[in-house]
Structure 1
Amino acid sequence: MSTFPTSAKAVIIGGGIVGCSTAYHLAKLGWSEVVLLERKKLTSGTTFHAAGLVGQLRSNANITQLLGYSVDLYNTLEQETGQATGWKMNGGLRLACNEERWTEVKRQATTAHSFGLEMQLLTPSEAKELWPLMTTDDLVGAAYMPTDGQANPSDITLSLAKGARKAGATIIEDTKVTKIELEDGVIKGVMTEKGFIACEKVILCGGQWTRDFAASVGVNVPLVPMEHQYMVTEQIDGVTSDMPTLRDPDRLTYYKEEVGGLVMGGYEANPIPWAVNGIPKGFHYTLLDSNFDHFEQLVELALGRVPALETAGIKQLVNGPESFTPDGNFILGEAPELKNFFVGAGFNAYGIAAGGGAGMALAEWVAKGEPPFDLWPVDIRRFGRPHFDTDWVRTRTVEAYGKHYTMAWPFEEHSSGRPCRKSPLYDKLLAKGACFGEKLGWERPNWFATNGTEAKDIYSFGRQNWFETVGEEHKACREAAVLFDQTSFAKFTLKGPDAEAALSWIAANDVAKPVGSLIYTQMLNDRGGIECDLTCMRVAQDEYYIVTGTGFATHDFDWIARNIPAGMNAQLVDVTSAYAVLSLMGPRARDILEKVTRDDLSNDSFRFGTARTIGIAGCPVRALRVTYVGELGWELHLPVEYATTVYDALSEAGREFGLRDAGYRAIESLRLEKGYRAWGSDIGADHTPAEAGLAWAVKLKKNIDFKGREAAEAQRDNGVKKILACFTADPDVVLSGRETIYRNGERVGWLTSGGFGYTVNQSIGYGYVRSDEPIDRAHVLSGEYELEVATERVPCAVHLAPLYDPGMERVKC
């Protein structure tokens, strides 16, 4: 009989598919001193009752790659371990019952092509050949992914566990972890019912228990359990073992074959949260009471697609709780609140599809200190302050669950849990026709309704109802001036005797500038990838004011804080809520600002890339001479209590110059024309400054060491294999991102972002031209290009210079 371990390199808590996959992959990396602890039996939490469909395509290339890894692993796992998995690559069908859904499916097919997956578009009759039991009278078409499949959740988890044991990992069942032991904020080990295990790293894969357990050490994991039901039938004539899985999103349902019968489940619009007041003690290998009344709505929809269900015998209506998240994406990564504490949870009922890849990524993150590639869409640091409130998380998660199969519209906003975080100007802007969007809980004006139009988005895959209005805001910025409320910006101060030295190490650009300087900089990982993209203002010799995007507040704060070199005296503080931000942009910006301040705003006195404190209406305002829209302008950062006073003063002063309010949709179109990059789409941890056209912002010519310098020097010396380029197409072509890029007829990448430029009157997209060999600008510009848009190829032009340049005389004058 084996003895209970007293120490380990890492302890994994939770024996579902993700925990077992993480143990398997850590052991494969040579981490034999890994212990997985399961409080009851493997799979006994939620894994055992998962439906087991395995699809791959997501809207992000790397998450698609991660799910594709799962498929590759499942193809060989049974042969490797000798343990059955129930895996079969029988393909997956997705149906479209109306023209808008068909457009969505065609765009998904193009996304698949962009990411290197095969997705075939089928006629209704071709789809029926693959799935003869369904009616097709209402079908417009279908998409077929031949490499999708299905698995038996318990079997595939046990196979991963067996593989983990063979590679040296220890798996112990019936052992509850009671506490994580910390000393001065550092993990020392875990206390269990059977004793203490010393370890430096803890990986929590606890499914629906994760939020509460993580909270015991101050870590926030935004997930809640929801009831999820599916029906298992007796054998049905005509059901064959090789039938593909079927998703019928317009009827909110999915299907897979099981022992000659069918599994049918779905995502109803009115889901039921579970365990609102806590998960019952002793809950394991337990299902909830079947709720036939609630499931009836899905049955009625399913009968219209599969009439055979009406006479089929029903074995069981399975009702099992699953953990869901507020945005429908799972949660991976090292917690920003506690070093060496990792999380893999919140899989939104596709944990089997993600399990193989998620375990691989989490294992690499633990072993190497960073994920194998950029996983921002599922990174735990994408969350923020609203996500500490479980009621808010549940409210938003109910909406996300209900939208699981609804149309994924471009620019779609969530409506639940709003308003949450409001600028002091919220009510004023609402009264002036602002149509708000939301990011990290913040209400942000997307556009302003004028001439009696309703401040409401009407979604479509074509030009949406706000298109012309945003064009007017765009034009005002180019020709007069606009005022953006950007209070939601994340803002930090870095202060202390070593502030310059610390920031010099973290930032790729030179921050050793005089007081009053603005520095645009990236922050790089050791591979040279862009982890942060932000602006620093030197406030004093020992202080910097740092501004970054709304959605990156947690991520960027964590990156800066964890990379301050040991022993340096520099403190990072989040001051987001202390400052409102008004961005005054446009060729008349100086005229307007001069009417409300006595400070000298001439170009000689107040140059681009500098900042100073000026007075407006009794308020000390940090005025930053910077732009993200390509026009003369200032970001005005001011204490929140002055926001309405300063806004009113600017609005009154701007009346004679044509000043108008504008929103984030205009910011997007303006920045696309000017070629400014957006972190999270155009740039990120997988993209370097040299690849993104930002090498000018890297201090390689200076003898200053910084994180990522070695990788940046290697690219400088050896060249790059991908280059970010701009693509323009006719104005009637709608680009939204992920469209496939073809150069001389060969697929070379996909668009990272897309939109419209009102000044140039063209559709605009950005994306990386990729090659197996080093390439240069001449290579990019020499090709003939096309974009695949909803499976149709359209001609496009390529550019490496900004589309819009008003002449630097005007911008800087």
Structure 2
Amino acid sequence: MAALAGGRVVIIGGGIVGASIAYNLSIRGYRDVTVIERNLVGEGATARATGGIRHQFSARVNIELVQRSMPFWTEFEERTGSRLQFRRHGYLFLISDPAVFGTFRANAELQKSLGVQVEILDPAHVSGVFPGIRTDDLVGATYTPGDGSASPADAVAGYLRAARANGTNVHQQSHFIGLRTDRYGAVQAVQTSDGIVEAEQVIIAAGPQSRTVGRQCGVDIPVFPHSRQAFTTAPIEALNGSMPLTVDMATGAYVHPEANGATAVIGGNDRDVPSSEVAQVDWSRVSGLAEALSNRFPVLENLEIVRGWAGLREMTPDDHAIVGPVDAVPGLWVAAGFSGHGFMQSPAVGEALAQWLLDGSPDLDLDPLRLERFGGRTAAALETAVF
């Protein structure tokens, strides 16, 4: 693919992925970039993400995207000029099914081969990482002590503050209406509620709304929004902020002790909800979540929930993102469907898209994430480390 010599780039979506792409283009000196956001930037799915950053995946491309992203998270202020607290608390996956443990052991070997610091724990050593966990039915666990979390809202603000300083235009509360193409079917402009914006390259980074935007462009992008909920607990004396974000793979329930060392964010057990564009808390699932958590974490037996919220998670059929140019429409690109991993992978995705646009190819193999894999062009194995 030829490198981009000139012409406007329009990014549809001002969430974490769109913001990263704009930032990475801007620091490469490319000024003719416009971000179109239907709400205020950072108010969509990004605002309701819990901010986890982890290396524990089964697919090489997902591991490598986080590896490429990690230096950015640790150097965020130095690179963007905005503050961001990256908290290294680790990720711990608890496994009671021997078959699942076999998969996670294989995943860990792949992660180790790529340089990830990951530990395979027997049940007796789990309490040394997170005291008080019930371990009698566990067959093992996997633990990455260097993983952590950060604030998605702060990250979006930092990305876009730097991008704007470098000349990026950001149009908020501006709705995408349609794509204009030339007689050869190539991108020519986008129509928005604020008017026409000329463009030679258009990137769909609209998160849960990407399939709708794709249809407006005449392309089917298999991204399906699913409501995902989380809750904040009242203070729990047995928790502290250095404990890892811990997932019980048998139920999908997780507990994420917060930095204050007393409260926690909890969630999970809702991966099977039907696709919907409406994010809402389903309080009928709270009792099942509480039961799953108290069974695995006895210290949470009498937990009190003080707040609940829900957001939309953009899922694909194989739990992998869709990234790259759209063969059917010259000049149209996609960066969507991250299946809950968009925040943590956004630095590497933004950098790769900037390289692809400006240099003709990225220095990381993203071919497994191309849209055309769903038409049989390539096949992506299902990502197994999803909860």
Shift of 1:269: 6.2
Shift of 1:261: 1.3
* Cα contact 1:257–1:263 (8 A) shared by 2: yes
**Partner of residue 231, structure 2:** 231
**Partner of residue 153, structure 2:** 154
More strand per residue: 1 or 2?
A: 1
Q: d(CA) in 1 for partners of 2:101 and 2:325?
A: 39
SS in 2 for 1:129: coil
Whichever residue aligns with residue 329 of structure 1, its letter is H
* Cα contact 2:13–2:38 (8 A) shared by 1: yes
Change (3 A) 1:367 1:243: same
1:461-476 correspondence to structure 2 within 5 Å: none
1:273 aligns with 2:275: yes
**Partner of residue 367, structure 1:** 358
SS in 2 for 1:79: helix
Shift of 1:402: 11
Gaps of 5+ in 2: 1-5, 377-381
Q: d(CA) in 1 for partners of 2:179 and 2:189?
A: 6
1:58-457 correspondence to structure 2 within 5 Å: 58-184=57-183, 185-258=185-258, 259=260, 260-268=262-270, 270-275=272-277, 287-288=279-280, 290-384=281-375, 404-405=386-387
Q: d(CA) in 1 for partners of 2:97 and 2:175?
A: 50
TM-score with structure 2 length normalisation?
Answer: 0.89
* Cα contact 2:293–2:301 (8 A) shared by 1: no
* Cα contact 1:53–1:256 (8 A) shared by 2: no
SS in 1 for 2:75: helix
1:54 aligns with 2:48: no
Change (3 A) 1:269 1:228: closer
Q: d(CA) in 1 for partners of 2:273 and 2:266?
A: 16
* Cα contact 1:253–1:302 (8 A) shared by 2: yes
Change (3 A) 1:192 1:100: closer
* Cα contact 1:24–1:164 (8 A) shared by 2: yes
Q: d(CA) in 1 for partners of 2:384 and 2:76?
A: 34
Whichever residue aligns with residue 336 of structure 2, its letter is A
* Cα contact 1:86–1:156 (8 A) shared by 2: no
* Cα contact 2:91–2:145 (8 A) shared by 1: yes
Shift of 1:353: 1.6
Gaps of 5+ in 1: 1-6, 280-286, 386-399, 406-813
Q: d(CA) in 2 for partners of 1:338 and 1:404?
A: 32
Q: d(CA) in 2 for partners of 1:401 and 1:323?
A: 14
Shift of 1:107: 1.6
Shift of 1:377: 2.8
* Cα contact 2:231–2:266 (8 A) shared by 1: yes
| Equivalent pairs, count | 374
* Cα contact 1:12–1:202 (8 A) shared by 2: yes
SS in 2 for 1:251: coil
SS in 1 for 2:14: coil
SS in 1 for 2:86: coil
* Cα contact 1:150–1:245 (8 A) shared by 2: no
Shift of 1:8: 5.9
Which one is further off, 257-266 or 45-54? 257-266
* Cα contact 1:67–1:354 (8 A) shared by 2: yes
Q: d(CA) in 2 for partners of 1:30 and 1:211?
A: 31
Q: d(CA) in 1 for partners of 2:68 and 2:156?
A: 16
Change (3 A) 1:270 1:204: closer
Shift of 1:133: 4.2
Whichever residue aligns with residue 226 of structure 2, its letter is M
**Partner of residue 707, structure 1:** none
Q: d(CA) in 1 for partners of 2:181 and 2:68?
A: 35
* Cα contact 1:269–1:401 (8 A) shared by 2: no
1:584-599 correspondence to structure 2 within 5 Å: none
Higher relative contact order (CA 8 A, sep 6+): 2
Shift of 1:267: 4.3
What root-mean-square deviation, in Å, do the aligned CA atoms of Structure 1 and Structure 2 show? 2.3
1:539-578 correspondence to structure 2 within 5 Å: none
Q: d(CA) in 2 for partners of 1:82 and 1:373?
A: 26
Amino-acid identity (%): 29
**Partner of residue 450, structure 1:** none
Shift of 1:194: 2.4
* Cα contact 1:13–1:37 (8 A) shared by 2: yes
* Cα contact 1:267–1:401 (8 A) shared by 2: no
Q: d(CA) in 2 for partners of 1:353 and 1:173?
A: 24
Shift of 1:202: 0.6
**Partner of residue 29, structure 2:** 30
Change (3 A) 1:199 1:265: same
Change (3 A) 1:211 1:160: same
Q: d(CA) in 2 for partners of 1:229 and 1:264?
A: 9
Q: d(CA) in 2 for partners of 1:167 and 1:249?
A: 44
**Partner of residue 8, structure 2:** 9
Q: d(CA) in 1 for partners of 2:97 and 2:174?
A: 52
Whichever residue aligns with residue 114 of structure 1, its letter is S
* Cα contact 2:188–2:200 (8 A) shared by 1: yes
SS in 2 for 1:111: helix
Whichever residue aligns with residue 244 of structure 2, its letter is P
**Partner of residue 3, structure 2:** none
Shift of 1:308: 2.7
Change (3 A) 1:296 1:367: farther
SS in 2 for 1:130: coil
* Cα contact 1:331–1:378 (8 A) shared by 2: yes
Q: d(CA) in 2 for partners of 1:217 and 1:270?
A: 29
Shift of 1:360: 1.7
* Cα contact 2:290–2:301 (8 A) shared by 1: no
* Cα contact 2:35–2:170 (8 A) shared by 1: yes
Shift of 1:371: 3.0
Q: d(CA) in 1 for partners of 2:108 and 2:176?
A: 45
